Structure 1
Amino acid sequence: MDALKAMWETIPPATPKDLAGARRRLLDGMHTRRRVVTVPRVLVAVAAAAAVALTPQVIGTGTSAYAVTKDQDGTLTVTLKELRDPDGLEAELAAAGVKADVTFLAPGTRCEVPRFVGADESYGGSPVDSAAELRERVSKVRSYKAIRGNSGKFQIFPEYIKPGETLVLEFSDERSAQVLWRMGSWLAKAGSPVKSCTPVSHTG
């Protein structure tokens, strides 16, 4: 103990400058070991993760005529710019899990009926007599629920398509800047083959 006391007495007292330097070195060491995460940095990280989670999945390579994307909930969005390459569009829909038969028609034409057995009364069923009856049928029939869209883009909801059914799509070119195409859509019953389209006039 006496030896330690004697050695301590030989060490000169620290000056204020020495103490300031030691404090600075201590703080610098703490900063290098500890990563400070600020609130903005956390928000940026969360936003980036959310963007990745919500980004639709692109199906296939797409073309200048059309593109197919798949959302997180399974909904397919089809952007249709030109009526060409129906086989390519069918292949991309098949890759997304939807069996489809796609036909592109000239202006003023439609496919001759019947081509298939419909899965519900939307195809080959009795005609509607009023707008109210049409609205009621649209709200109940699966074929009407399976697809929804407007000129240029439409969405497909696979939860309304049963295994083995075929989504039949017919597009007629309207040659209009406001209405790019007219679409007919139905569900073919499972096991019912879809015949090739024979174009006929709208009034034929």
Structure 2
Amino acid sequence: MIREPDGSIKIYVRDNRHPQVIERQLRNLDVRADVTFLPPGKDCREPRGTYLPDNPALLTSEPPAEGKDDYWRLHPEQIKPGQTFVYTMWYEEHGDNRMFTARYRVATGPVAPCEVVPGGPVMKEGPEGGIGD
């Protein structure tokens, strides 16, 4: 996780293994966050809080430089005092292939812990070796 000169935070996919570590690193960068990782086919019972309307400027994907890990970029200036960045991720590996999908939101007020229920994306290895849902 790296704070960039423009204030954005670059979060590498390789970091997406331990949600409590990401929460702590974001807190150290003054971002209140609730991070949950789930197995494919599971989800959190919703709503966990009062979510703001989607804001695509909050999170942008950028192609990595050749030979570098994938990353995503968080724009913390979009998260106001009293708000929480709520990030839910599903991650799965199939041999050398890895796939993750994520949902991100901003909540105002308290955020309930994730109560795991059936749902969410299901990822599987395709006939050509790729991963799809």
Short-chain TM bin: 0.7 to 0.9
Note if 1:175 corresponds to 2:93: yes
Say which one has the larger Rg: 1
The aligned amino acid for 1:106 is P
Q: Whole-Å Cα distance in 2 between the matches of residues 153 and 84 of structure 1?
A: 13
Q: CA deviation at 1:198?
A: 1.3
Greater strand content:
2
Aligned pairs for 1:23-38 (under 5 A) are: none
CA distance in 1, matches of 2:47, 2:115: 10
SS of the counterpart of 2:112?
coil
Q: CA RMSD in A?
A: 2.1
Residue 200 and residue 82 in structure 1: after superposition, are their counterparts in 2 closer, same or farther (change >3 A)?
A: farther
Unaligned runs of 5+ in 1: 1-67, 123-141
Amino acid in the other structure paired with 1:196: P
1:118-153: CA deviation from partner (whole Å, max 9, x where unpaired) = 122x3xxxxxxxxxxxxxxxxxxx3x2111237942
Q: Which residue of structure 2 lines up, in the alignment, with residue 197 of structure 1? A: 114
Matches within 5 A, 1:1-204: 68-81=1-14, 83-120=16-53, 122=54, 142=55, 144-149=56-61, 152-176=70-94, 179-189=98-108, 192-202=109-119
Structure 2, unmatched stretches of 5+, are 63-68, 121-133
Length-normalised TM-score, structure 2: 0.74
Tell me, what secondary structure is at the counterpart of 1:162?
coil
What letter is aligned with 1:73?
D
Aligned residues: 113
Secondary structure in 2 aligned to 1:180?
A: strand
Which of the pair is proportionally richer in helix? 1
8 Å contact 1:107–1:175 — kept in the other structure? no
Distance 1:187 1:98 in 2: 11
- Overall identity of the aligned pairs, in %: 28
